[in-house]
Amino acid sequence: RNDGGGGQRLVAYVVAAETEEPVSRLQWRRELSEQLPDYMIPAVFMVLTEIPVTVNGKVDRLALPAPELDRSELSREYSAAQTATEELLVAIWSEVLRVERIGVHDNFFELGGDSILSLQIVAKAAQAGLRLLPKQLFKHQTIAELATAAAGSAELVMAEQGLITGDVPLTPVQKWFFEGQRVEPHHFNQALLLEVHERANHGLIKRALEHLFEHHDALRLRFVLEETGWRQFYAGLGAAVPFALEDLSELSDDDQRERVEATASRIQSSLHLTQGPLARIVLFEMGQGKPARLLVVIHHLAVDGLSWRILLEDLQTAYEQLSRGEMLRLPRKTTSYKQWAERLQEYATSDRLSKEAVYWMDGSRRQVGRLPKDHETGANTVGSSRAVVASLDEEETRMLLHEVPALYRTQVNDALLTALAQTLANWSGQRRVLVDVEGHGREEIAEDVDVSRTVGWFTTIFPVLLELGEADDVANLKLIKEQLRDIPQRGIGYGLLRYLRRDEISATLRELPRAEVLFNYLGQFDLVLGGSTLLRVAHESSGKPQSEKETRRHLLEINASVGHGRLRMTWSYSDHLHRRTTIEWLAAEYADALRKLINYSPSSQSDGFTPADFPGARLIQEELDTFLTKFKEEQGRSK
């Protein structure tokens, strides 16, 4: 059911036998936790005298009452917070769970909590200076228990709060960037063009931006090409923040749009890796009663998708503090990009990572054929890049995000990559496809590292071999799910072995065939701006983020994201190599493959289980299916 806040939660409706003793919701939850994974345990239990049915004798879902929660339903009486940590957790739980009166002995899951909400709890706790881990909320389900665990075993990672200086080792994704021998390496950016609330004070915006440049050290990175290659270092604070103000209030609407887009194109090509800056900001005043435009261009070497969320949240926070006349005070820095890069260097040579090499050097990748082309001799340049967009409607997107993962114990990426593998296989006639997958890259490589609020380019790019079977769509979903679960540490090891080592492992990885397809799921893009009252995405173009002279690394790039409740899938290609009709067919086939997965109705809930759901059992799929079939038969006979 909808939880009232834009999400969903699992609700159980229970009819108890008259002879049974009353059972608390906590008892139900504990009993189920012995048989089900956490994400399958209901958030709410509703006791009914009978299950409503339709005239046909089926459960009348529309007649099931909406869950309500009051203190009488909880397993304990209200107990107020006694310590500062407990008070902090009560405030965070209340905000996230939308429950006003929470006691320290109330159970997180009885209050309607789930695994997704637990991540929000962790994030808000970190901003308040308290480090938690998601798994702690499953183990310590009350504030009283959680506060004790947090104090004893989840100390904050201490990060340097001053100005970071000195050389910074190149990270794997940065080495990937420079390995391409780019024609114009200064022109490879990420940018946002935003509307600013019409009553915003532009002077305060400038001051807030200046503070961000001082706070987030990655915005001061510089790069020098030397005989041994590119060197990365931090510049000082001497240079002024690259901020410009343009008054377009006297121009017509059409002329304003033209000027904004022309300036954006110019700014996109104006960054300099060595002299700086690596970012430029322009504020366009559009006239009385009109929202201004804020253009922010940052070189990709210094920023990634998660970094934008951090920067925009901090911009909103700094602006609000200034507008209230308060001292600027942003959340504490986490582990610096410099320290992260140094720890990656150490981890790259560790024995633990060396053991992963067997997975990445699997020779099966040599058996993957090339993808078809409409034109064999064209140049795959950025200037020849075109795009085709396909989308799912809101209901299909809702089912993909919520129902498919629940049915098959999958993540969204499992379904997206299964449909992609099927589409490419139907096109190429091969059951094996090699895809470069992008990940956020902020993995837990050490307990004393926390990069949750660190700005920089953390992205991982790693090759995934997707192998389909001969069975139906859902059987292939299970196969792909298992293959994705086999990837060590969500792929971070590949770049470390490939780019940070100089040994036989690195040499072998360099020799293996490269993927011709890049896939990236960007998540729910609406959340980038969160609930900002200051900014929203503008409708004008922010310019071209890359030089048109560059050579593209892949034949096809597929970027999927959710915006305004709909999944959008953008297929980028070169018209020197493929006809638009070919890509339009592929995009349509991909959307249809997703719809088949969405609309499949399993014969039972157990149909979605795979060996990855029972890692300790060491089963193959056939053994698991046989066991589950016998189990259901036994259950049927017992009834």
What pLDDT is attached to residue 72?
47
The structure tokens listed for 205 are 């915006």
Share of the chain above pLDDT 90, in %: 46
In 3D space, the residue among 123, 75, 130, 122 whose CA is nearest the CA of residue 103 turns out to be 75
Dump the DSSP string for 576-621.
TTS-HHHHHHHHHHHHHHHHHHHH---SSGGGG--GGG-TTT---H
Dump the DSSP string for 223-275.
EEEETTEEEEEE--S-SPP-EEEEE-TTS-HHHHHHHHHHHHHHHHT---TTT
User: What average pLDDT is seen over the chain?
Assistant: 84
Question: Could you give the CA distance from residue 293 to residue 193 in angstroms, rounded to a whole number?
Answer: 7
* Lowest mean pLDDT across 50-54, 150-154, 313-317: 150-154
What pLDDT is attached to residue 182?
85
Question: Could you give the CA distance from residue 285 to residue 600 in angstroms, rounded to a whole number?
Answer: 52
Which whole number is the average pLDDT over 343-350?
A: 93
The pLDDT tens digits of the residues spanning 568-594 come to 999 999 999 999 999 999 999 999 999
In 3D space, the residue among 35, 41, 40 whose CA is nearest the CA of residue 110 turns out to be 41
547, 184 in Cβ contact below 8 A? Answer: yes
Write the single-letter amino acid at 617.
A
> In this model, does residue 445 exceed pLDDT 80?
yes
Question: Could you give the CA distance from residue 120 to residue 290 in angstroms, rounded to a whole number?
Answer: 35
450 exposed, middle or buried (CB, 10 Å; 0-12, 13-18, 19+)?
Answer: buried
Instruction: Report which of residues 410 and 191 the model is more confident about.
Output: 191
> In this model, does residue 385 exceed pLDDT 70?
yes
What pLDDT is attached to residue 606?
47
> In this model, does residue 22 exceed pLDDT 80?
no
Which whole number is the average pLDDT over 274-302?
A: 94
In 3D space, the residue among 348, 427, 411, 388 whose CA is nearest the CA of residue 593 turns out to be 427
DSSP state of 336: -
Three-class secondary structure of residue 391 per DSSP: strand
The confidence band for 527, taking pLDDT boundaries of 50, 70 and 90, is very low
What pLDDT is attached to residue 605?
44
Which whole number is the average pLDDT over 303-331?
A: 90
In 3D space, the residue among 14, 81, 101, 73 whose CA is nearest the CA of residue 49 turns out to be 14
Question: Could you give the CA distance from residue 92 to residue 90 in angstroms, rounded to a whole number?
Answer: 6
What pLDDT is attached to residue 452?
80
- Helices of type H across 336-428: 337-348, 351-354, 357-360, 394-398, 404-408, 412-428
355, 505 in Cβ contact below 8 A? Answer: no
Question: Could you give the CA distance from residue 467 to residue 480 in angstroms, rounded to a whole number?
Answer: 7
The confidence band for 604, taking pLDDT boundaries of 50, 70 and 90, is very low
> In this model, does residue 152 exceed pLDDT 90?
no
Which whole number is the average pLDDT over 438-467?
A: 88
Q: Which residue reads 């260097």 in tokens?
A: 345
Which whole number is the average pLDDT over 268-297?
A: 93
The pLDDT tens digits of the residues spanning 87-119 come to 999 999 887 776 778 888 887 766 656 555 665
**∠494-500-504 over CA atoms, to 5°?**
75
The pLDDT tens digits of the residues spanning 551-569 come to 999 999 999 988 777 899 9
The confidence band for 75, taking pLDDT boundaries of 50, 70 and 90, is very low
Write the single-letter amino acid at 473.
D
DSSP state of 409: T
DSSP state of 400: I
The pLDDT tens digits of the residues spanning 160-184 come to 888 888 999 999 999 999 987 789 9
What pLDDT is attached to residue 59?
85
* Lowest mean pLDDT across 36-40, 326-330, 436-440: 36-40
In 3D space, the residue among 37, 217, 228 whose CA is nearest the CA of residue 114 turns out to be 37
What pLDDT is attached to residue 254?
94
Helix, strand and coil content of the chain, in percent to the nearest 5, comes to 40, 15, 40
**Other beta carbons within 10 Å of 503:** 11
